[in-house]
Structure 1
């Protein structure tokens, strides 16, 4: 496919032109307040040893509206977030997770090294305020080992670090289109052996579409203190309370004529979800010697979820708890890590009739209970890695992960023969990982072979009748990866190129048989292969103006190798839900007086939306711009201002799609989640240093 014919971005042309004018970067061109940004960028790498990873931090976050975490993460090649709404995000990594109907699974997510993925592998990145994050590190593919060898890899979310030996009060206020208001008030204190961060955040918006109001309040407490010469403790509390109306997906006619429409049945039911979520964690770090350290965490999470849908009302809660212990050290020339992670949760859910059609236009009304279920889910991981320097330039790493998963489903509603209670005990699975890394002055070359897995989701373990499906097996896959990183032109240009191939067996398929009913089964094999390219340049236009153009390109060549669904043979078809080409590009300008301009662009190729490849979404280009200014008003007070435009050319595009959608009762299938039209935002930040 010719990207030039698709509208190759003007920013890429600008990238080339400005590179010709580039000169050496002057160290004295760093703007006011970069001390805080640099502290966030300096959050250390969490991936073990020579394991490759990608990280985005303060400078990347600054390019976007503070409510738009998908755009920031979509700057990483090989990663794509399909965002149906603020509360509806599906993360795909190298095509893994693309067939999940709603939400994110097949990867592990950690918040300050505490696992926040639930017992069936679901993660919710929307549970965290963008402005509280200092960095997001992404390990693509199953090579994470110490963070669960899931096929999609691992997302490691880290909160902002305190500025050493300073006490600060920072308030960031933003407003924008669709009556958007957001405020984040943060306090941080750092002194010898003690660090404290506390923030309160509030977000409200009417949304671009009908029935898409969103309101969220959150509290975050993160503290670390030294308890002795060799030990320290950390305590974390993250609380989120949000209510989000659900416009749901719409059909092609509505998408083309008026993308602000909500699905008619969701609009009539005034469908929404209300969530109260809390995560608490206590960690202890002990330095046994210069050669051995341990960090052990215990954690508890609670989610209370209530969701009136047109077809029923879902009322659920989840209690989860566990521990994670990791030892790290060195033995002679070798570095090692080993440890264990245990997670157990109790998931209880019931459904009720929704009598919205009898409620005189007032939306959802709870009726008779129609189900009551409980499921206990537990996972246990053992992991270890050994990294050995064979020569001064060449290192090798061996990793091993062992996983055991168990589900215990209990039907609390039906009696006798109709009772569907059952247990599912998956066989233990061993997941090896081997990598090599060759380092030289201007770059490195690395290779990796790793095996990974994915557990079935709750929907995939049950039949539509609520009975455990004993034939469902875990997905497994082997990943082959080769990559290189370069620093060129006096380290002004960084270039990363990765090629990979992963074969996934026992592909998990959620076949839709009703508006809220799926049959999970294993249906063959997929092949995931592709290339990822990341370029970043740092140059100077004048003694006072620096510029940084960048580009991330992803080639997804994913396909069904063996996929037969009833009488249909889809073998050889491109994988559903994945664009073949993705491109993120942009350029950052900074002036020494504190002024900065960020221009960003995203291209997403067409996405096959059915297994038969009978229909695809249209490709699209979206452009954003943001202008900011930072200035120190005194030795204690700093001011930041910003204003921006999203979707400058008002493109009508699908920011997310629902694959294999089915039209019920003669209605058109609802494939599309429209992206926002052209919209505006602005903000003010005040920083007081005590």
Structure 2
């Protein structure tokens, strides 16, 4: 055979083998957010229009190349679909693909609020979103700084892990803890039947996203005049299998360690996370020690059924430094409350251990009819030596929630009907003792408390002509307490029952989408908020039998959207809230909080948030520069308030700043370097109903600088450092309102620093 024939045969063989070679060749790529340069997980990657794979946690994917120049399509919700062509000279190396976020961000963001599951632009109501990126711009020691970035909401810490959450002034009745705000975790009640919420049992790393619904939302979420917080757990994304460890160290002995393992497939995911946090404290008697274990899972065994299960175990200990007078605060803000019943002498602290297990199923009977049902159980033990007494409580609780949704049509009008209910039952054994230097003394009271709370709700949504969405909702709420006193030295035994009569709470809302980028909305809602068990049975064992439920009506109107070539986003809401039978708290001579109804309050406010993207050039060294801010104006007054011979009508509402604002700058480079700067201003705050003492206004700032890099195909590294209270401001965070003896002030830390790193391995 001639040389030419050999060459001809060899050429034919190569040409015949080429398609098979290409068919077996693997594409290797990595998908990044073009604005932030961060990996995108869950991106659908298809070749020739056929779905092949999803990108993993680090953005990597592999797919099979079927032909020369085959179109590879990458699509992801909230981002512009991109098509890439791999040339025949592709050598198998990893190629980065940058996906551009869609300008219509508000159109793409889905919210759960009011169980509508609509884009934010199509949701009629004042809703603020706190994404995971906002939580991680701080050191994750608490949620306070992340929550305070949104308007109309204020979160405080009287001591590390001693949270107080106020939505439109609702902390008026919360000397400690969270009340008058309903909290859900993965759609399962986290607020207990007795009306309290132990949010400090969660670590900031357990939360994937927060939705905050402001004002009365009783139509869907039961009794409440403050608002509702919907927490989404961290989950593993489809295609993700990773191990991650991290550590943060900071001033005043702050340490935080985390370990996370996650595995995600197309129809299942499981995430296990353990977090340990310790802190010596800025003030005397303000240390914290907390361990949290989260198991978060979700399964889709069939096309019709999705099941999620969550377990949260927490063991929390933190100390209580106590409030300071103005003179003590000025002299030494780091000192704890002193004296015979001082915080150090009495070991004022709280030891809280709890486990919460929740199970939820969504079942789709058809494309138009579905049901979501959840059940949960919790067990909690509290050991609480206080300055003047010692409490020991054990609580067991179970409950559930179910809702049915039917998508239908009334002629040409698309309609969604929602019908459901929720029930909770808690049993608590509560004992109080004398506090003898941090140990239990003589028994004062021994109580058994049964709390029952439930409601039925119905809602209808109508998609009317001219891009108008109308919503009508109604709920029927009922709360009952039964307190059995087994022992009390002074008054003897008794049984006390309190049933707050069922109340109908309606909500009506309208939304008009002016364009595909701007919408306006208006709503009227009624709220009903019965006292919590702690407000009826105070810590000194006294019964507050005269306390009535708060009732109020809220009117609001708002506009949200984006403009200027999608660089500017905005959300503005104005509201008027008239609250009757307002509950306020006051401390007695033994520092025990007592509660009473004081007539009515008049609350007018304006809440705004805005963001502007100055630079978005993913191919340039400086790839993103963005500024954002929020502002809250609160004109809150006591409308009718008479205490003995003194009339407080017209006074400023206690604990509410007239003006509050937060602003931030975000900078990202293509190399992975990022910088976040956040500043928070709070106006002076009235600390008593008489308006004779105010906390000074303050401006604090914090900054974080970090670097995120991918080290090969499997390892991801982040190193960071930051500073809080950059201005070294002296301020009080978590003031004790109406405190006896003028002990109003709870000093916040001065300038402090932190640094840390995290290492992630993708299997």
Check whether TM > 0.5. yes
Give the TM-score normalised by structure 1. Answer: 0.91
Alignment RMSD: 2.0
Paired residue for 2:189, among 93, 103, 115? 115
Structure 1, unaligned runs of 5 or more = 1-25, 357-363, 664-668
Quick check: 1:433–1:450 contact (8 Å CA) kept in 2?
yes
- Deviation of 1:551 after TM superposition, in Å, equals 0.7
State the distance in 2 between where 1:403 and 1:323 align: 15
- Deviation of 1:541 after TM superposition, in Å, equals 7.0
State the distance in 2 between where 1:205 and 1:33 align: 33
- Deviation of 1:512 after TM superposition, in Å, equals 2.8
- Deviation of 1:683 after TM superposition, in Å, equals 1.1
Could you list the per-position Cα deviations for residues 129-175 of structure 1 after superposition, in whole angstroms to 9, with x for gaps in the alignment? 11121101000011352222511110111112322112111112111
State the distance in 2 between where 1:569 and 1:488 align: 49
Cα gap change, 1:321 to 1:595, in 2 (>3 Å): same
Paired residue for 2:334, among 246, 257, 260? 260
Cα gap change, 1:44 to 1:170, in 2 (>3 Å): farther
- Deviation of 1:296 after TM superposition, in Å, equals 0.7
- Deviation of 1:239 after TM superposition, in Å, equals 0.5
State the distance in 1 between where 2:538 and 2:187 align: 35
Give the TM-score normalised by structure 2. Answer: 0.83
Look up the match of 1:324: 401
State the distance in 2 between where 1:256 and 1:353 align: 32
State the distance in 2 between where 1:520 and 1:330 align: 45
State the number of aligned residues. 653
State the distance in 2 between where 1:434 and 1:112 align: 26
Look up the match of 2:505: 431
Paired residue for 1:442, among 517, 523, 535? 517
Structure 2, unaligned runs of 5 or more = 1-31, 42-56, 59-75, 79-104, 117-122
State the distance in 2 between where 1:687 and 1:44 align: 28
Look up the match of 1:648: 726
Could you list the per-position Cα deviations for residues 620-674 of structure 1 after superposition, in whole angstroms to 9, with x for gaps in the alignment? 00010100110000111110111000011211101121111112xxxxx210011
Q: Tell which has more relative contact order, 1 or 2 (C-alpha 8 A, sep 6+).
A: 1
Q: What are the equivalent positions in structure 2 for 1:39-118 lying under 5 Å apart?
A: 44-48=110-114, 49=116, 50-52=123-125, 53-118=127-192
State the distance in 2 between where 1:207 and 1:469 align: 35
State the distance in 1 between where 2:494 and 2:664 align: 54
- Deviation of 1:425 after TM superposition, in Å, equals 0.9
Paired residue for 1:560, among 638, 646, 660? 638
Could you list the per-position Cα deviations for residues 545-576 of structure 1 after superposition, in whole angstroms to 9, with x for gaps in the alignment? 21110110000100000000111100000100
- Deviation of 1:472 after TM superposition, in Å, equals 2.1
Could you list the per-position Cα deviations for residues 23-45 of structure 1 after superposition, in whole angstroms to 9, with x for gaps in the alignment? xxx97343133546999999841
Look up the match of 2:236: 162
Give SS of 1:674's match: coil
Paired residue for 1:339, among 410, 414, 420? 420
Paired residue for 1:220, among 288, 294, 298? 294
Give SS of 2:484's match: strand
- Deviation of 1:465 after TM superposition, in Å, equals 7.6
State the distance in 1 between where 2:405 and 2:652 align: 42
Paired residue for 1:232, among 285, 300, 306? 306
State the distance in 1 between where 2:713 and 2:538 align: 64
State the distance in 1 between where 2:700 and 2:539 align: 40
Look up the match of 2:481: 407
2:552 matched to 1:477?
yes
Cα gap change, 1:518 to 1:174, in 2 (>3 Å): closer
Give SS of 1:97's match: helix
2:379 matched to 1:313?
no
Quick check: 1:180–1:205 contact (8 Å CA) kept in 2?
yes
Give SS of 1:428's match: strand
Q: What are the equivalent positions in structure 2 for 1:518-529 lying under 5 Å apart?
A: 518-529=593-604
Moved more, 386-395 or 72-81: 386-395
Moved more, 369-378 or 91-100: 91-100
- Deviation of 1:392 after TM superposition, in Å, equals 4.3
Look up the match of 2:256: 182
Look up the match of 1:7: none
State the distance in 1 between where 2:712 and 2:746 align: 47
Look up the match of 1:530: 605
Look up the match of 1:686: 759
- Deviation of 1:270 after TM superposition, in Å, equals 2.2
> Which structure has the larger Rg?
2
Quick check: 1:400–1:431 contact (8 Å CA) kept in 2?
yes
- Deviation of 1:610 after TM superposition, in Å, equals 1.0
Quick check: 1:39–1:163 contact (8 Å CA) kept in 2?
no
Paired residue for 1:296, among 373, 376, 388? 373
Paired residue for 1:383, among 444, 453, 457? 457
Paired residue for 2:745, among 672, 675, 678? 672
Paired residue for 2:563, among 470, 484, 488? 488
Q: What are the equivalent positions in structure 2 for 1:582-661 lying under 5 Å apart?
A: 582-661=660-739
Quick check: 1:110–1:117 contact (8 Å CA) kept in 2?
yes
Paired residue for 1:275, among 330, 349, 352? 352
Quick check: 2:685–2:697 contact (8 Å CA) kept in 1?
yes
Cα gap change, 1:568 to 1:160, in 2 (>3 Å): same
Quick check: 2:238–2:268 contact (8 Å CA) kept in 1?
no
